[in-house]
Structure 1
Amino acid sequence: MSASLSRPTQRVAVLALTMSAALVAAGCTSNDPATTPAASTQSAAGNAASDNDAPGKKVVIGFSGPAADHGWLAAINNSALAEAKKYSDVELKAAEGTNDASAQIAQIETFINDKVDAIVLLPTDGAALTEIATKAMQAGIPVINVDREFSSPFAARATVLGDNYGMGVSAGTYACKLVKDKSLTNPVIAEIAGIDALPLTQDRSKGFADALKACNQTVDNRVAAEFTVESGEKQASNLLQAAPKIDILWNHDDDQGVGVMAALDQANRHEMAFIGGAGSANAMRWIKEGKMEATVIYPPTQAADGIKLARLVAQGKGISDLVQVEVPRRVVLNAPVVNKANVDQYLPLGFES
């Protein structure tokens, strides 16, 4: 999704979990939206196979997340707070969101001194927070790492990630489907990336390019923005000037997509199939209106999933739908495509840009 601005990820196999309604955004196991399961089939009650969600031992969880200066980041924080409220056996100590690594280190120090039972941490910078997270682990406090990975495997008990490479693969696979369905000959495919220096952007672009190879296509025009509305509009305007005709456009981030759409409106350029990334509510409304073809989910529920895992780890439980008796060390969420066929199922989970 979205634009976590320092999110390195590794490309690993998706582990699909049916843990809560928060995981609906990760529930599709196919890039074909027609095969996406209805959101209603994934119960808000969570694990139906056991009593994992029944009240257990009281646990105190410390949560430290980013400053909510972006729609996706605000959704990350809000979903974590909302998830904790579902459990009478969870006391959540939520630190103020920050983009300052030093301030976040101080927050984790406080959690350690308070002897919380578990910590859920979306670090401002994974490398910068690795040492303090390792200290918490050494103090016997399990750390659940969210979205931006630490630089040491000893810094976290479990890690919850979105799939940036998978986002690109989903977008590229859908683009190939459009090429076939529309019988496009020599289509012009364009891409508006996020910040090129970030591994997450590189992963998304590589996944997109790799998937396009399946239908013998490449990206013809590409620009990079900065995950902001302003940069999205500026770079989209540059792209439109360079490419008088575009058949398919993939924009990495729905927040910067607000600016992209503004540029498309201003230039009256709606000839292309516009694919977004992250899964914002406004993108889904555009899909319903016919102004946008699709968007690819980057789940804003990762911290909520972190809360659920922290509770299970602190209570000595596993995940009921797995044979393994302990919580996995790594969970990578899926990146399904949302289009007009399934948008009503996903719209309630969309975040506001």
Structure 2
Amino acid sequence: MKKTMFSALLASLICLALVVAGCASKGGNAESQAPAQASGSESGGGQIHIGAALPDFSDKWLSYLQEGMEKYQKTQDGVNVTYVDAQNDASKQLAQIETFISQKVDAIVMVPVDTVSAVDIVDRANKANIPIVVVNRWFEGVDKAASYVGSESITAGVMQMEEVAKLLGGKGNIAIMTGQLGQEAQIKRTEGNKQVIGKYPDMSIVLEGTASWDRAKGMALMENWLNSGKKIDAVVSNNDEMAIGAIMAAEAANKADGMIFAGVDATPDALEYVKSGKLQVTVFQNADGQGKSGLETAIKAARGEQVEKNVYVPYELVTKDNVDEYVKKWE
């Protein structure tokens, strides 16, 4: 009797198990069968993911460009931006771009470390069908990017040197302090300087050297120049940080009086030097405007909108006469 009851119970349990298994097979498993959630702009109005590859977080002017991007990002709903620092290492920046590509970001914003690797980076982004926007540093082949956002560097060099020539009355010995060799801004700003100097028979370049955009290196280079014994009437620098370093060295040697100093960028620190009369010339390069326009263009490209091939942000001459106007821009 007990054996018969046990057999009947066992048969019932087997039948129940078969019914449950059949229902599960028919209804499907929600966890394994449901389609994966799309990411980025493919999710139908979801988050847009932008990869921002910057060359050096410690560079003062570039930090303002990044702030411009971050401020604009806060005005945009559904936009996520990942910022990475290449630490001025071209191979590191390439690896960071490859990571963005593997993550399938919706667009990339890049300020290139150098003009050689930049060409390859743009090509890789294009092959992955990811729009890439190049900001600030122009190079041969940048036309293959979705857009270039920046300023025409040669204009800064021309504006800067024309004002220096005016202050010197068209006569004097010029020392040109350049940025990192091979970069577009270094090449073109210096070219602009030399174009102007070539118009004045009584002006000549007596010294030229690189301080790689850095204040401390600018100070060290200026110390070497002062020790050379050559007469210097004006130090014309590719950026403000190097110019400030040159001023500091000249002051320490008690040789700053009567010497003209010129930079580019019109950073807050530089504007203080202009107000004090120590830095006579700088050229405003709108870091905030370039950062904002770069990210804005990348977001449009990520959404499939048409973007301008070149977005130019103009340079503006800054002297003691109009410096307060530019101080307000940073407030």
Residue 312 and residue 198 in structure 1: after superposition, are their counterparts in 2 closer, same or farther (change >3 A)? closer
2:197 to 206, 212, 218: 212
Question: Within 5 A, what are the aligned runs for 1:215-254?
Answer: 215-226=200-211, 227-242=213-228, 246-254=232-240
Give the Å deviation of 1:241.
Answer: 4.2
Tell me, in whole angstroms, the C-alpha distance in 2 between the residues paired with 1:263 and 1:170. 25
- Greater Cα shift, 286-295 or 152-161: 152-161
In structure 2, how many angstroms separate the alpha carbons of the residues matched to 1:104 and 1:146? 14
Structure whose alpha-carbon radius of gyration is higher = 2
Partner in structure 2 of residue 78 of structure 1: 67
Summarize the Cα distance change of 1:220–1:149 in structure 2 as closer, same or farther, 3 Å threshold.
Answer: closer
Equivalent in the alignment of 1:342: 322
- Per-residue CA deviation, residues 213-235 of structure 1 (Å, 9 max, x unaligned), is 44545334223132322321222
What residue in structure 2 maps to residue 261 of structure 1?
247
Deviation of residue 198 (structure 1)?
Answer: 4.7
Contact 2:235 2:243 in 1 (8 A): no
Q: Distance in 2 between matches of 1:151 and 1:139?
A: 21
Match of 1:273 among 250, 260, 264: 260
Match of 2:126 in 1: 137
The one-letter code sitting in structure 1 at the alignment partner of 2:314 is: N
Determine if the alignment matches structure 1 residue 291 to structure 2 residue 257: no
2:164 alignment counterpart: 175
Change (3 A) 1:237 1:332: same
Counterparts of 1:161-172 in structure 2, within 5 Å, are 161-172=150-161
Name the counterpart of 1:159: 148
Q: 1:189 to 1:84 in 2, by over 3 A?
A: same
Residue by residue over 1:19-42, the C-alpha shift from the partner in whole angstroms, topping out at 9 and shown as x without a partner, is xxxxxxxxxxxxxxxxxxxxxxxx
Q: Which letter does structure 1 place at the counterpart of 2:246?
A: V
Equivalent position to 1:331, from 289, 311, 317: 311
Which ranges of structure 1 fall in alignment gaps of 5 or more residues?
1-55, 318-325
Does the aligned pair in 2 maintain the 1:60–1:116 contact within 8 Å? Answer: yes
Asked if the contact 1:172/1:211 (under 8 Å) is kept, the reply is yes
2:193 alignment partner, SS class: helix
Q: How many residues align?
A: 284
In the TM superposition, what is the alpha-carbon distance from 1:157 to its structure 2 partner? 0.5
Which of 76, 80, 85 is the equivalent residue of 1:87? Answer: 76
Residue 328 of structure 1 deviates from its aligned partner by 1.8
Percent identical among aligned pairs is 28
CA contact (8 A) 2:164 2:281 kept: no
Which protein has the bigger helix share? Answer: 2
Larger RCO, structures 1/2 (Cα 8 Å, 6+ apart): 1
Post-superposition offset of 1:132: 4.1
| TM-score normalized with structure 2 length | 0.74
TM-score normalised per structure 1 = 0.70
1:235-272 deviation per Cα after TM superposition (whole angstroms, max 9, x unaligned) = 22233344675443322221122321111211222212
Q: CA RMSD in A?
A: 2.9
